[in-house]
Structure 1
Amino acid sequence: MFGFVAAAQLVAADHAEAANGAYAVDAADISDLGSCKVESWYSMATNSDFAAVANPSCVVEITRPVELSVLTNYSRSDGDFSTTLAPKAKINLEPTGIGKFGVSALASGTFDAMTGQNTAVFAEIPATYRFSETTRINLNAGWLWDRVLDRHYFTYGVGFDWKFTDVLEYTVELYGQAGHAGFASVIQPRIQTGVRYRPNETFSLDVIYGRNITGENSNWITVGTTIRFPPPGSVRKPDAHL
Protein backbone atom coordinates (compact mmCIF):
# COMPACT_ATOMS: atom_id res chain seq x y z
CA MET A 1 0.00 0.00 0.00
CA PHE A 2 2.80 2.42 0.86
CA GLY A 3 5.43 1.12 -1.55
CA PHE A 4 5.38 4.25 -3.72
CA VAL A 5 5.71 6.44 -0.64
CA ALA A 6 8.80 4.54 0.47
CA ALA A 7 10.25 5.13 -2.99
CA ALA A 8 9.72 8.86 -2.58
CA GLN A 9 11.56 8.89 0.72
CA LEU A 10 14.44 6.76 -0.49
CA VAL A 11 15.28 8.67 -3.66
CA ALA A 12 15.19 11.84 -1.60
CA ALA A 13 17.73 10.58 0.83
CA ASP A 14 21.52 10.46 0.19
CA HIS A 15 23.03 13.05 0.99
CA ALA A 16 25.79 15.44 1.87
CA GLU A 17 28.32 15.71 4.62
CA ALA A 18 25.90 16.28 7.51
CA ALA A 19 22.47 15.76 6.00
CA ASN A 20 23.29 12.46 4.40
CA GLY A 21 22.72 8.78 4.99
CA ALA A 22 19.27 8.17 6.43
CA TYR A 23 18.45 11.89 6.47
CA ALA A 24 16.11 12.92 3.68
CA VAL A 25 16.89 16.63 3.28
CA ASP A 26 19.93 17.00 1.04
CA ALA A 27 22.68 19.60 1.20
CA ALA A 28 24.17 21.35 -1.82
CA ASP A 29 27.70 20.05 -1.20
CA ILE A 30 29.22 17.03 -2.88
CA SER A 31 32.36 15.15 -1.82
CA ASP A 32 35.83 15.78 -3.26
CA LEU A 33 36.64 14.56 -6.76
CA GLY A 34 37.94 10.98 -6.61
CA SER A 35 36.56 10.30 -3.14
CA CYS A 36 34.08 7.54 -2.27
CA LYS A 37 31.94 6.62 0.70
CA VAL A 38 29.64 3.81 1.82
CA GLU A 39 26.55 4.75 3.79
CA SER A 40 24.39 2.11 5.45
CA TRP A 41 21.52 2.21 7.91
CA TYR A 42 18.78 0.15 9.48
CA SER A 43 15.40 1.71 10.31
CA MET A 44 12.69 0.14 12.49
CA ALA A 45 9.09 1.39 12.83
CA THR A 46 6.57 0.84 15.61
CA ASN A 47 4.23 -0.86 13.11
CA SER A 48 6.91 -3.54 12.33
CA ASP A 49 8.00 -1.95 9.02
CA PHE A 50 11.74 -1.80 8.51
CA ALA A 51 14.34 -0.77 5.94
CA ALA A 52 17.92 -2.04 5.55
CA VAL A 53 19.89 0.23 3.21
CA ALA A 54 23.35 0.36 1.62
CA ASN A 55 24.38 3.35 -0.47
CA PRO A 56 27.89 3.42 -2.01
CA SER A 57 28.89 6.57 -3.92
CA CYS A 58 31.90 8.10 -5.69
CA VAL A 59 32.65 11.48 -7.25
CA VAL A 60 33.88 11.26 -10.85
CA GLU A 61 34.76 13.76 -13.57
CA ILE A 62 32.08 14.12 -16.28
CA THR A 63 33.11 17.51 -17.71
CA ARG A 64 32.82 18.55 -14.04
CA PRO A 65 32.61 16.59 -10.74
CA VAL A 66 29.46 14.45 -10.45
CA GLU A 67 28.55 12.33 -7.44
CA LEU A 68 27.18 8.93 -8.54
CA SER A 69 25.49 6.50 -6.18
CA VAL A 70 23.30 3.40 -6.17
CA LEU A 71 21.09 2.94 -3.11
CA THR A 72 19.90 -0.61 -2.35
CA ASN A 73 16.96 -0.99 0.00
CA TYR A 74 15.52 -4.21 1.44
CA SER A 75 12.33 -3.37 3.31
CA ARG A 76 9.05 -4.51 4.74
CA SER A 77 6.10 -2.17 4.27
CA ASP A 78 2.55 -3.05 5.35
CA GLY A 79 3.59 -6.72 5.57
CA ASP A 80 5.10 -6.86 2.06
CA PHE A 81 8.83 -7.38 1.45
CA SER A 82 10.65 -5.70 -1.41
CA THR A 83 14.11 -4.85 -2.70
CA THR A 84 14.65 -1.65 -4.67
CA LEU A 85 17.60 0.00 -6.40
CA ALA A 86 17.93 3.77 -6.73
CA PRO A 87 20.77 5.13 -8.92
CA LYS A 88 21.40 8.85 -8.53
CA ALA A 89 23.56 11.59 -10.04
CA LYS A 90 24.24 14.90 -8.29
CA ILE A 91 26.15 17.94 -9.53
CA ASN A 92 27.12 21.09 -7.63
CA LEU A 93 26.19 24.29 -9.51
CA GLU A 94 27.27 26.90 -6.94
CA PRO A 95 29.67 26.09 -4.08
CA THR A 96 28.50 26.72 -0.53
CA GLY A 97 30.11 29.35 1.69
CA ILE A 98 29.48 31.30 4.86
CA GLY A 99 26.86 33.98 4.23
CA LYS A 100 25.85 32.69 0.79
CA PHE A 101 23.69 30.03 -0.83
CA GLY A 102 25.18 27.01 -2.56
CA VAL A 103 23.05 25.13 -5.09
CA SER A 104 23.11 21.65 -6.64
CA ALA A 105 20.89 19.56 -8.91
CA LEU A 106 20.21 15.84 -8.76
CA ALA A 107 18.19 13.18 -10.55
CA SER A 108 17.30 9.68 -9.42
CA GLY A 109 14.94 6.80 -10.00
CA THR A 110 13.87 3.61 -8.26
CA PHE A 111 13.70 0.13 -9.74
CA ASP A 112 12.18 -3.07 -8.42
CA ALA A 113 15.14 -5.46 -8.08
CA MET A 114 12.98 -8.52 -8.88
CA THR A 115 11.15 -7.25 -11.97
CA GLY A 116 13.39 -4.42 -13.15
CA GLN A 117 10.35 -2.14 -13.28
CA ASN A 118 11.06 1.59 -12.98
CA THR A 119 8.75 2.51 -10.09
CA ALA A 120 9.61 6.20 -9.58
CA VAL A 121 11.52 9.12 -11.09
CA PHE A 122 12.80 11.98 -8.95
CA ALA A 123 14.55 15.34 -9.53
CA GLU A 124 15.52 17.94 -6.96
CA ILE A 125 17.32 21.25 -6.34
CA PRO A 126 19.10 21.31 -2.95
CA ALA A 127 20.26 24.69 -1.62
CA THR A 128 22.43 25.31 1.44
CA TYR A 129 23.03 28.51 3.38
CA ARG A 130 25.91 28.49 5.88
CA PHE A 131 25.49 30.80 8.87
CA SER A 132 28.92 29.83 10.24
CA GLU A 133 31.44 27.00 10.14
CA THR A 134 29.19 25.01 12.50
CA THR A 135 25.60 25.85 11.46
CA ARG A 136 23.70 25.72 8.19
CA ILE A 137 20.21 25.35 6.76
CA ASN A 138 19.33 23.08 3.83
CA LEU A 139 16.34 23.74 1.55
CA ASN A 140 15.02 21.25 -1.02
CA ALA A 141 12.43 21.52 -3.80
CA GLY A 142 11.73 18.78 -6.32
CA TRP A 143 9.41 16.66 -8.40
CA LEU A 144 8.46 13.00 -7.93
CA TRP A 145 6.69 10.82 -10.47
CA ASP A 146 5.22 7.66 -8.93
CA ARG A 147 5.10 5.49 -12.05
CA VAL A 148 3.20 2.63 -10.37
CA LEU A 149 0.14 4.80 -9.68
CA ASP A 150 1.03 7.43 -12.32
CA ARG A 151 0.89 10.30 -9.82
CA HIS A 152 3.05 13.41 -9.67
CA TYR A 153 4.13 15.17 -6.47
CA PHE A 154 5.93 18.34 -5.49
CA THR A 155 8.56 17.45 -2.91
CA TYR A 156 9.99 19.79 -0.29
CA GLY A 157 12.32 19.76 2.67
CA VAL A 158 14.02 22.01 5.20
CA GLY A 159 16.79 20.88 7.54
CA PHE A 160 19.08 22.47 10.11
CA ASP A 161 22.58 21.16 10.98
CA TRP A 162 24.58 22.21 14.03
CA LYS A 163 28.04 20.94 14.89
CA PHE A 164 27.96 21.61 18.64
CA THR A 165 31.22 19.87 19.60
CA ASP A 166 34.29 18.69 17.71
CA VAL A 167 32.76 15.22 17.24
CA LEU A 168 28.97 15.67 17.60
CA GLU A 169 26.49 17.10 15.08
CA TYR A 170 22.75 17.65 15.54
CA THR A 171 20.24 17.59 12.68
CA VAL A 172 16.51 18.26 12.56
CA GLU A 173 14.50 18.16 9.33
CA LEU A 174 10.97 18.47 8.03
CA TYR A 175 10.09 17.18 4.58
CA GLY A 176 7.26 15.72 2.54
CA GLN A 177 5.36 15.69 -0.73
CA ALA A 178 2.30 17.58 -1.95
CA GLY A 179 -0.25 16.31 -4.45
CA HIS A 180 -3.21 13.99 -4.82
CA ALA A 181 -2.91 10.84 -2.68
CA GLY A 182 -5.23 8.10 -1.52
CA PHE A 183 -4.19 8.36 2.15
CA ALA A 184 -3.83 11.51 4.25
CA SER A 185 -0.59 10.33 5.85
CA VAL A 186 1.08 10.22 2.41
CA ILE A 187 1.03 14.03 2.16
CA GLN A 188 1.42 14.78 5.86
CA PRO A 189 4.85 16.26 6.72
CA ARG A 190 7.54 13.86 7.93
CA ILE A 191 10.10 14.78 10.59
CA GLN A 192 13.45 13.36 11.68
CA THR A 193 15.95 14.46 14.31
CA GLY A 194 19.20 12.87 15.32
CA VAL A 195 22.81 13.10 16.45
CA ARG A 196 25.92 12.16 14.50
CA TYR A 197 29.10 11.03 16.21
CA ARG A 198 32.08 11.69 13.94
CA PRO A 199 35.38 10.99 15.76
CA ASN A 200 37.47 11.38 12.60
CA GLU A 201 37.21 12.16 8.88
CA THR A 202 36.71 8.50 7.92
CA PHE A 203 33.86 7.21 10.08
CA SER A 204 30.59 8.50 11.52
CA LEU A 205 27.65 7.00 13.41
CA ASP A 206 24.05 8.31 13.35
CA VAL A 207 21.18 7.70 15.76
CA ILE A 208 17.90 9.19 14.49
CA TYR A 209 14.28 9.38 15.61
CA GLY A 210 11.66 9.87 12.88
CA ARG A 211 7.91 10.24 12.51
CA ASN A 212 5.91 9.17 9.42
CA ILE A 213 9.13 8.93 7.41
CA THR A 214 7.59 6.81 4.62
CA GLY A 215 4.03 8.11 4.91
CA GLU A 216 2.79 5.28 7.16
CA ASN A 217 2.17 7.43 10.29
CA SER A 218 4.50 5.49 12.62
CA ASN A 219 7.52 6.27 14.77
CA TRP A 220 10.97 5.17 13.57
CA ILE A 221 14.40 4.59 15.07
CA THR A 222 17.38 4.53 12.71
CA VAL A 223 21.01 3.58 13.29
CA GLY A 224 23.42 4.35 10.45
CA THR A 225 27.11 4.49 9.62
CA THR A 226 29.23 6.19 6.96
CA ILE A 227 32.73 5.13 5.92
CA ARG A 228 34.63 7.59 3.72
CA PHE A 229 37.53 6.93 1.35
CA PRO A 230 39.59 10.01 0.37
CA PRO A 231 40.95 10.56 -3.16
CA PRO A 232 44.16 8.58 -3.87
CA GLY A 233 47.24 10.44 -2.65
CA SER A 234 45.31 13.04 -0.67
CA VAL A 235 46.17 14.06 2.87
CA ARG A 236 43.36 14.25 5.40
CA LYS A 237 43.12 17.52 7.31
CA PRO A 238 40.97 18.20 10.36
CA ASP A 239 37.50 19.38 9.35
CA ALA A 240 36.34 22.11 11.70
CA HIS A 241 33.09 22.78 9.86
CA LEU A 242 30.08 20.91 8.52
Structure 2
Amino acid sequence: MGWAKDTGITAAIAALVALATQDARAANGAYAVDAADISEVGSCKVESWMSAATNTDVLAVANPSCVVDPFRPIELSMQTIRARSDGDWSTTVAPKAKTNFIPTGIGRWGLSAYGGGSFDVMTGEALAAFAVIPATFRLSETMRINVNGGWLWDRTVDRHYLTYGIGFDWKFTDTLQWTIEAFGQAGRSEIASIVQPRFQTGVRYRPNEIFSVDVIYGRNIIGENANWITIGTTIRFPVRGSEPEHRRTGHL
Protein backbone atom coordinates (compact mmCIF):
# COMPACT_ATOMS: atom_id res chain seq x y z
CA MET A 1 0.00 0.00 0.00
CA GLY A 2 2.75 2.46 0.98
CA TRP A 3 4.82 1.47 -2.06
CA ALA A 4 1.88 2.14 -4.36
CA LYS A 5 1.29 5.54 -2.78
CA ASP A 6 4.96 6.59 -3.09
CA THR A 7 5.09 5.31 -6.66
CA GLY A 8 2.01 7.34 -7.56
CA ILE A 9 3.53 10.53 -6.14
CA THR A 10 6.82 10.07 -7.98
CA ALA A 11 5.18 9.10 -11.25
CA ALA A 12 2.84 12.08 -11.08
CA ILE A 13 5.67 14.55 -10.51
CA ALA A 14 7.80 12.93 -13.24
CA ALA A 15 4.87 13.24 -15.65
CA LEU A 16 4.43 16.91 -14.78
CA VAL A 17 8.11 17.58 -15.50
CA ALA A 18 7.87 15.82 -18.87
CA LEU A 19 4.74 17.69 -19.90
CA ALA A 20 5.76 21.11 -18.66
CA THR A 21 6.56 23.61 -21.39
CA GLN A 22 9.08 26.38 -21.54
CA ASP A 23 8.97 28.74 -24.53
CA ALA A 24 8.61 32.51 -24.63
CA ARG A 25 6.19 32.52 -27.55
CA ALA A 26 4.47 29.26 -26.65
CA ALA A 27 1.70 28.62 -24.14
CA ASN A 28 4.71 28.23 -21.76
CA GLY A 29 5.37 28.38 -18.07
CA ALA A 30 2.73 26.50 -16.12
CA TYR A 31 0.96 25.42 -19.30
CA ALA A 32 1.79 21.93 -20.52
CA VAL A 33 1.35 22.00 -24.32
CA ASP A 34 4.35 23.55 -26.04
CA ALA A 35 4.53 25.49 -29.30
CA ALA A 36 7.11 24.88 -32.02
CA ASP A 37 8.78 28.31 -31.76
CA ILE A 38 11.89 29.16 -29.79
CA SER A 39 13.10 32.63 -28.84
CA GLU A 40 15.88 34.67 -30.45
CA VAL A 41 19.49 33.60 -29.88
CA GLY A 42 20.94 35.45 -26.88
CA SER A 43 17.59 36.04 -25.18
CA CYS A 44 16.83 34.69 -21.71
CA LYS A 45 13.85 34.49 -19.38
CA VAL A 46 12.87 33.38 -15.89
CA GLU A 47 9.49 31.68 -15.48
CA SER A 48 8.04 30.91 -12.07
CA TRP A 49 4.69 29.72 -10.83
CA MET A 50 2.88 28.32 -7.83
CA SER A 51 0.00 25.86 -8.02
CA ALA A 52 -2.34 24.81 -5.21
CA ALA A 53 -4.91 21.99 -5.34
CA THR A 54 -8.14 21.29 -3.51
CA ASN A 55 -6.52 18.15 -2.03
CA THR A 56 -3.79 20.38 -0.40
CA ASP A 57 -1.08 19.40 -2.93
CA VAL A 58 1.29 22.24 -3.85
CA LEU A 59 3.80 22.95 -6.62
CA ALA A 60 6.36 25.78 -6.65
CA VAL A 61 8.43 26.01 -9.82
CA ALA A 62 11.29 28.17 -11.12
CA ASN A 63 12.55 27.81 -14.67
CA PRO A 64 15.40 29.98 -16.03
CA SER A 65 16.30 29.51 -19.70
CA CYS A 66 18.45 31.01 -22.48
CA VAL A 67 18.81 30.47 -26.22
CA VAL A 68 22.36 29.71 -27.43
CA ASP A 69 23.81 28.80 -30.82
CA PRO A 70 26.64 26.23 -30.54
CA PHE A 71 25.81 24.79 -33.99
CA ARG A 72 22.09 25.72 -34.29
CA PRO A 73 19.72 27.73 -32.02
CA ILE A 74 18.97 25.69 -28.89
CA GLU A 75 16.91 26.75 -25.88
CA LEU A 76 18.44 25.42 -22.66
CA SER A 77 16.45 25.44 -19.42
CA MET A 78 16.75 24.12 -15.88
CA GLN A 79 13.45 23.68 -14.11
CA THR A 80 13.37 23.31 -10.31
CA ILE A 81 10.19 21.89 -8.75
CA ARG A 82 9.36 21.91 -5.06
CA ALA A 83 6.27 19.73 -4.59
CA ARG A 84 4.02 18.49 -1.80
CA SER A 85 1.85 15.48 -2.61
CA ASP A 86 -0.16 13.57 0.04
CA GLY A 87 1.81 15.46 2.70
CA ASP A 88 5.23 14.38 1.35
CA TRP A 89 7.70 16.95 0.00
CA SER A 90 10.15 16.49 -2.88
CA THR A 91 12.59 18.70 -4.80
CA THR A 92 13.29 17.89 -8.43
CA VAL A 93 15.43 19.46 -11.14
CA ALA A 94 14.79 18.94 -14.84
CA PRO A 95 17.27 20.12 -17.51
CA LYS A 96 15.84 20.43 -21.02
CA ALA A 97 17.07 21.33 -24.52
CA LYS A 98 14.80 22.40 -27.38
CA THR A 99 15.43 23.29 -31.03
CA ASN A 100 13.24 24.30 -33.96
CA PHE A 101 13.37 22.47 -37.32
CA ILE A 102 10.53 24.09 -39.30
CA PRO A 103 9.58 27.71 -38.46
CA THR A 104 5.91 28.42 -37.85
CA GLY A 105 3.84 30.53 -40.22
CA ILE A 106 0.22 31.38 -40.94
CA GLY A 107 -1.47 28.52 -42.76
CA ARG A 108 1.34 26.00 -42.29
CA TRP A 109 2.84 23.72 -39.65
CA GLY A 110 6.01 24.46 -37.70
CA LEU A 111 7.96 21.69 -35.97
CA SER A 112 10.50 21.43 -33.14
CA ALA A 113 11.80 18.87 -30.65
CA TYR A 114 12.95 18.84 -27.05
CA GLY A 115 14.26 16.33 -24.57
CA GLY A 116 15.60 16.10 -21.06
CA GLY A 117 15.38 14.33 -17.73
CA SER A 118 14.52 14.85 -14.07
CA PHE A 119 16.54 14.17 -10.92
CA ASP A 120 15.84 14.08 -7.19
CA VAL A 121 17.86 16.86 -5.57
CA MET A 122 18.26 15.11 -2.20
CA THR A 123 19.38 11.69 -3.48
CA GLY A 124 20.71 12.51 -6.95
CA GLU A 125 18.55 9.68 -8.33
CA ALA A 126 17.47 9.93 -11.97
CA LEU A 127 13.65 9.93 -11.94
CA ALA A 128 12.63 10.23 -15.57
CA ALA A 129 13.67 10.91 -19.16
CA PHE A 130 11.47 12.43 -21.86
CA ALA A 131 11.38 13.54 -25.50
CA VAL A 132 8.60 15.53 -27.19
CA ILE A 133 7.78 16.77 -30.71
CA PRO A 134 5.76 20.03 -30.61
CA ALA A 135 3.94 21.11 -33.80
CA THR A 136 2.17 24.44 -34.29
CA PHE A 137 -0.38 25.50 -36.92
CA ARG A 138 -1.07 29.23 -37.04
CA LEU A 139 -4.64 30.07 -38.02
CA SER A 140 -3.88 33.80 -37.99
CA GLU A 141 -1.58 36.30 -36.29
CA THR A 142 -3.65 35.93 -33.11
CA MET A 143 -4.74 32.26 -33.08
CA ARG A 144 -2.83 28.98 -33.21
CA ILE A 145 -3.19 25.27 -32.48
CA ASN A 146 -0.38 23.37 -30.73
CA VAL A 147 -0.09 19.58 -30.88
CA ASN A 148 2.47 17.56 -28.88
CA GLY A 149 3.46 13.91 -29.03
CA GLY A 150 6.25 12.26 -27.10
CA TRP A 151 7.75 9.60 -24.87
CA LEU A 152 8.28 9.42 -21.10
CA TRP A 153 10.32 6.90 -19.15
CA ASP A 154 9.43 6.78 -15.46
CA ARG A 155 12.64 5.26 -14.14
CA THR A 156 11.29 4.78 -10.59
CA VAL A 157 8.99 2.00 -11.78
CA ASP A 158 10.68 1.34 -15.16
CA ARG A 159 7.55 2.23 -17.15
CA HIS A 160 7.37 3.81 -20.60
CA TYR A 161 4.49 6.08 -21.62
CA LEU A 162 3.32 7.88 -24.72
CA THR A 163 2.65 11.54 -23.96
CA TYR A 164 0.19 13.76 -25.81
CA GLY A 165 -1.27 17.24 -25.76
CA ILE A 166 -3.39 19.64 -27.78
CA GLY A 167 -3.90 23.32 -27.06
CA PHE A 168 -5.41 26.48 -28.52
CA ASP A 169 -4.09 30.03 -27.99
CA TRP A 170 -6.05 33.17 -28.82
CA LYS A 171 -4.65 36.66 -28.34
CA PHE A 172 -7.96 38.50 -28.13
CA THR A 173 -6.56 41.94 -27.20
CA ASP A 174 -3.14 43.58 -27.40
CA THR A 175 -2.38 42.49 -23.82
CA LEU A 176 -4.59 39.44 -23.11
CA GLN A 177 -4.24 35.86 -24.33
CA TRP A 178 -6.54 32.91 -23.60
CA THR A 179 -5.25 29.32 -23.61
CA ILE A 180 -7.11 26.03 -23.31
CA GLU A 181 -5.40 22.63 -23.42
CA ALA A 182 -5.79 18.92 -22.77
CA PHE A 183 -2.81 16.62 -22.20
CA GLY A 184 -1.68 13.44 -20.49
CA GLN A 185 0.15 10.15 -20.89
CA ALA A 186 -0.93 6.72 -22.11
CA GLY A 187 0.38 3.40 -20.89
CA ARG A 188 0.08 0.74 -18.21
CA SER A 189 -0.27 1.91 -14.60
CA GLU A 190 -1.71 0.43 -11.43
CA ILE A 191 -2.87 3.93 -10.46
CA ALA A 192 -5.69 4.91 -12.80
CA SER A 193 -5.39 8.67 -12.29
CA ILE A 194 -1.82 8.67 -13.65
CA VAL A 195 -3.09 7.95 -17.16
CA GLN A 196 -6.32 9.97 -17.03
CA PRO A 197 -6.50 13.06 -19.30
CA ARG A 198 -5.64 16.45 -17.77
CA PHE A 199 -7.05 19.88 -18.53
CA GLN A 200 -6.05 23.52 -18.08
CA THR A 201 -7.38 26.89 -19.16
CA GLY A 202 -6.18 30.35 -18.28
CA VAL A 203 -5.56 33.97 -19.23
CA ARG A 204 -2.21 35.70 -19.70
CA TYR A 205 -1.79 39.44 -19.18
CA ARG A 206 1.27 40.81 -20.99
CA PRO A 207 1.47 44.62 -20.79
CA ASN A 208 4.92 44.80 -22.42
CA GLU A 209 7.71 42.69 -23.95
CA ILE A 210 9.40 42.07 -20.60
CA PHE A 211 6.74 40.84 -18.18
CA SER A 212 3.61 38.69 -18.17
CA VAL A 213 1.38 37.08 -15.55
CA ASP A 214 -0.89 34.02 -15.88
CA VAL A 215 -3.97 32.94 -13.93
CA ILE A 216 -4.88 29.31 -14.68
CA TYR A 217 -7.50 26.77 -13.62
CA GLY A 218 -6.54 23.12 -13.99
CA ARG A 219 -8.06 19.68 -13.43
CA ASN A 220 -6.10 16.51 -12.55
CA ILE A 221 -2.77 18.25 -13.17
CA ILE A 222 -0.58 15.59 -11.52
CA GLY A 223 -3.03 12.71 -11.53
CA GLU A 224 -4.75 13.32 -8.19
CA ASN A 225 -8.24 14.13 -9.52
CA ALA A 226 -8.18 17.57 -7.90
CA ASN A 227 -8.87 21.13 -9.01
CA TRP A 228 -5.84 23.44 -9.30
CA ILE A 229 -5.29 27.19 -9.30
CA THR A 230 -1.99 28.49 -10.65
CA ILE A 231 -0.43 31.95 -10.59
CA GLY A 232 2.62 32.35 -12.81
CA THR A 233 4.96 35.08 -14.00
CA THR A 234 7.55 35.41 -16.76
CA ILE A 235 10.36 37.96 -16.87
CA ARG A 236 12.15 38.19 -20.23
CA PHE A 237 15.60 39.51 -21.10
CA PRO A 238 15.51 40.12 -24.87
CA VAL A 239 18.58 40.62 -27.03
CA ARG A 240 19.72 44.24 -26.71
CA GLY A 241 18.90 46.27 -29.80
CA SER A 242 16.51 43.70 -31.26
CA GLU A 243 12.99 44.59 -32.37
CA PRO A 244 10.10 43.88 -29.98
CA GLU A 245 8.95 40.30 -30.37
CA HIS A 246 5.48 41.01 -31.78
CA ARG A 247 6.93 43.35 -34.43
CA ARG A 248 9.65 40.87 -35.38
CA THR A 249 7.35 37.87 -35.76
CA GLY A 250 3.91 39.38 -36.33
CA HIS A 251 2.56 36.64 -34.07
CA LEU A 252 1.28 36.10 -30.55
TM class, shorter-length? over 0.9
Alignment of 1:200-211 (within 5 A): 200-211=208-219
Secondary structure in 2 aligned to 1:6?
Answer: helix
Match for 1:128 among 115, 131, 136?
136
Match in the other structure for 1:10 = 17
Runs (5+) with no aligned partner, structure 2: 1-7
Is residue 128–residue 153 contact of structure 2 (8 Å, CA) maintained in 1? yes
Is residue 3–residue 77 contact of structure 1 (8 Å, CA) maintained in 2? no
Write the distance in 2 (CA, Å) between the matches of 1:39 and 1:197.
Answer: 14
Amino acid at match of 1:201: E
Runs (5+) with no aligned partner, structure 1: none
Match in the other structure for 1:241 = 251
Write the distance in 2 (CA, Å) between the matches of 1:106 and 1:52.
Answer: 23
Write the distance in 1 (CA, Å) between the matches of 2:244 and 2:78.
Answer: 26
Is residue 133–residue 149 contact of structure 2 (8 Å, CA) maintained in 1? yes
Match in the other structure for 2:93 = 85
Match in the other structure for 1:147 = 155
Write the distance in 1 (CA, Å) between the matches of 2:216 and 2:10.
Answer: 22
Match for 1:212 among 217, 220, 224?
220
Task: Write the deviation string for residues 204-224 of structure 1: whole angstroms up to 9, x where unpaired.
Answer: 000000000111110000000
Task: Write the deviation string for residues 118-170 of structure 1: whole angstroms up to 9, x where unpaired.
Answer: 10000000000000000000000000000000000000000000000000000
1:231 partnered with 2:246: no
**Aligned-pair distance for 1:232?**
3.1
Secondary structure in 2 aligned to 1:9?
Answer: helix
Is residue 65–residue 91 contact of structure 1 (8 Å, CA) maintained in 2? yes
Task: Write the deviation string for residues 151-196 of structure 1: whole angstroms up to 9, x where unpaired.
Answer: 0000000000000000000000000000001111111100000000
Alignment of 1:1-242 (within 5 A): 1-16=8-23, 17-236=25-244, 238-239=246-247, 241-242=251-252
Aligned identity (percent) is: 66
**Aligned-pair distance for 1:53?**
0.3
Structure holding more helix per residue: 2
**Aligned-pair distance for 1:238?**
4.7
Amino acid at match of 2:222: T
Q: TM-score, normalised by structure 1?
A: 0.97
- Equivalences, count: 242
Is residue 18–residue 152 contact of structure 2 (8 Å, CA) maintained in 1? no
Secondary structure in 2 aligned to 1:2?
Answer: helix
**Aligned-pair distance for 1:233?**
3.4
Task: Write the deviation string for residues 66-98 of structure 1: whole angstroms up to 9, x where unpaired.
Answer: 000000000101111000000000000000000
Amino acid at match of 2:52: M
Q: TM-score, normalised by structure 2?
A: 0.94
Write the distance in 2 (CA, Å) between the matches of 1:237 and 1:183.
Answer: 43
**Aligned-pair distance for 1:3?**
1.8
Is residue 214–residue 232 contact of structure 2 (8 Å, CA) maintained in 1? yes
Question: Which piece of structure 1 moves more, 194-203 or 2-11?
Answer: 2-11
Write the distance in 1 (CA, Å) between the matches of 2:74 and 2:167.
Answer: 23
Write the distance in 2 (CA, Å) between the matches of 1:237 and 1:33.
Answer: 13
Write the distance in 2 (CA, Å) between the matches of 1:88 and 1:77.
Answer: 24
Is residue 112–residue 118 contact of structure 1 (8 Å, CA) maintained in 2? yes
